[in-house]
Amino acid sequence: MNRATLVFILKRVAQLVPQLLAISAAVFVLIRLLPGDPARALLGPHATARGVASLSAQMGLNRPIPEQYWIYVKGILHGDLGHSWFTGQSVTTDLAQRAPATLELITYAFLVAIVVGACIGAVSASRGDRGVIARGITWYTRLAGAFPDFWMGLLAIYVFFYRLRIAPAPLGRLGITAIPPKTITGFYTVDSLLTGNFTTFLDAAAHLAVPVLVLGLIVAPMIARVTSAAMSEVLSSDHIRYARAAGLGRALVSRYAVRNALPPVVTIGGVLFVYLLGGAVLIEKVFSWGGIGQYAVQAVGNSDFAAIQGFVLLAATFTVLVYLLVDLIHLAIDPRVAY
C-alpha cells in the first residue's frame, strides 16, 4: 500500500468524527424539541416526581446546554443510550438483542436486490430500448416504485400464506414452538447451520423467504437502473471500442466492461443498503419480525423517547459506516481514487 492510499484512508476515517458528532447533536436537539420537560418525557407515563428529579440531575438539565450535550456524548461513549420505560431495559440492551434480526433480514434482501437488479441491468444494457423484455423491465421498475412495500408484503401474506399455504404465518422469525439456535452470529440461518440444526434452518429460511423477497424485489430496480446505465456507458466508451480494435476476445472485453461499470454500482449498493433499513421498519411491522424496526415502531406508538433516540442514533451511525465502507471499496477497486 502506498502513501497516497494510506493518507486517503486516514483522512476518510477521520471524517467519521465530525459526522458522528453532528448526528449526536441532531438527536440531542430532537429530544429537546418535545414540549415540556425532557426528563419527564423520557420516563414515560409512569414517571414519579423523584424519578424525574433524579434523571434531571443526571442529564444536567439545569446546566447550560453545551454541558448537557457533553454529558450526553459521554453517556453514548460509555454505551449508555438511556432507559426504555416500556421494556424496562436499557436501550442499548434492547437494540443489541434485536439488531441481528434486522441485519439478517436486510442482508438477504440486499443480496436478492443485487443479484436480480444486476442481471436485469446487464440484460437491459445489452438489449437496448427495444423489445418485449425492455418494455417489461421498464414496467417492472415503474410498478415496483409506485406501490408501497408494506402493502406488497400484506398481499404476499394473503397469497402465499392464506391462499396457497406455502408460506408460514407472518408471526416472526421462527414458528411459535421453535427454539432459536445458539447465538453465534445472531443470524438464525447461519447459527442453525453452524450448530447442525437443520430443521431450525429450514424454519428460519421459510420465515425469511417472503419478507426478503418482497423487500428485495421492490428495491431491485434501483440497482437495475444504475447497472444498466453504467454498462451502457461503458460498452459505448472509447476504451472498450479500442479493446475491440486491438482484437481482444469477447470474454475479456466483457470482463473489462464489468470492471469499469462497478464503481457506480457499488455506490448505489451503499445507498440501497441504507434505504433497506428504512424499508425494514415497515416490513418488520407487517411480519412481526422482532427486530429494531419493529422496536422503533413500538417506541413511536408508546412515546418511548429514549428508545426512539437510541434507534435514530443507531440508524444514523449505521448510515455513516456503510458510506465509509463504500468509499473504502471504491479505493480498492478503482485506481483513480486517492490521486
Partner 1 sequence: MSANILLEAPLPPQAVKRRVVAYLGFGLLLVVVVLAFLGPLFATHDPTQANALEALQPPGARHWLGTNSYGGDIFSRVVSAARLDLFIGFASVASAFVIAAPLGTAVGYSRAWWASVTMRAMDFIQSFPVFILAMAIVSVRGPGTFNVILVIALLNVPIFVRLIRAEVLSLRERAFVDAARAVGNSGFRLVTRHIMPNALGPSIAQASANIGWALLLTAGLSFVGAGIRPPTPEWGTMIAEGAQNMITGEWWISLFPGLALGTAVLGFALAGDALRALLDVRARTV
Partner 2 sequence: MTQPLLALEHLEVRFPTSRGESTVVDRVDLTIGRGEFFGLIGETGAGKSMTAWAAMGLVPPPGHISDGVVRFEGRDLLRAREDEQRRLRGQEMAVIVQNAKAALNPMLSIGKQIANAYRAHHDVTKREAYECAVDALGSVRMPDPPAKAEEYPHQLSGGMAQRALIALAMVNRPKLLIADEPTTGLDVTIQAEILDLMSERVASQGSSVWIITHDLAIVANYTERAAVMFAGQIIENGPTSDLFADPRHPYTRGLVEALQNERARGERLKVGGAPPDLVDRPSGCQFAYRCPIAEPQCHVTMPELSELAQRHYVRCLVAERLAREQTA
Name the binder of 99 from partner 2, partner 1, none, CB < 5-8 A by kind.
none
- Return the residues of window 27-56 that contact partner 1 according to CB under 8 A: 30-31, 33-34
Minimum separation from the CB atom of position 335 to partner 1 (A): 27
The residue among 69 and 256 lying less far from partner 1, judged by its C-beta, is 69
* β partners of residue 90: 83
Q: Which of 95, 150, 100 is nearest to 312 (CA)?
A: 95
Contact string (CB under 8 A) for partner 1, positions 130-149, x = contact: ------------xx-xxxx-
By the rule CB under 8 A, 278 interacts with partner 1 = yes
Q: Which of 115, 119, 152, 112 is nearest to 137 (CA)?
A: 119
The three-class DSSP label of residue 108 is helix
By the rule CB under 8 A, 338 interacts with partner 1 = no
Spatial contact of 313 and 127, defined as CB atoms under 8 Å apart:
no
Q: Which residues bind partner 2 (CB under 8 A)?
A: 236-239, 241-249, 252, 256, 259-260, 333-336, 339
Minimum separation from the CB atom of position 184 to partner 1 (A): 28
Name the binder of 320 from partner 2, partner 1, none, CB < 5-8 A by kind.
partner 1
User: Cα separation of 175 and 334, whole Å?
Assistant: 45
Residue in the block written with cell 453514548? 76
By the rule CB under 8 A, 188 interacts with partner 1 = no
Spatial contact of 97 and 183, defined as CB atoms under 8 Å apart:
no
User: Cα separation of 197 and 219, whole Å?
Assistant: 32
20 CB burial (10 A radius; 0-12, 13-18, 19+): middle
Residue 171: what residue type?
L
Name the binder of 215 from partner 2, partner 1, none, CB < 5-8 A by kind.
none
The binding site for partner 1 (CB under 8 A) comprises 19, 22, 26, 30-31, 33-34, 129, 142-143, 145-148, 150-151, 154-155, 157-158, 161-162, 169-170, 274-275, 277-279, 281-282, 285-286, 296-297, 299-301, 303, 305, 308, 311-312, 315-316, 319-320, 323
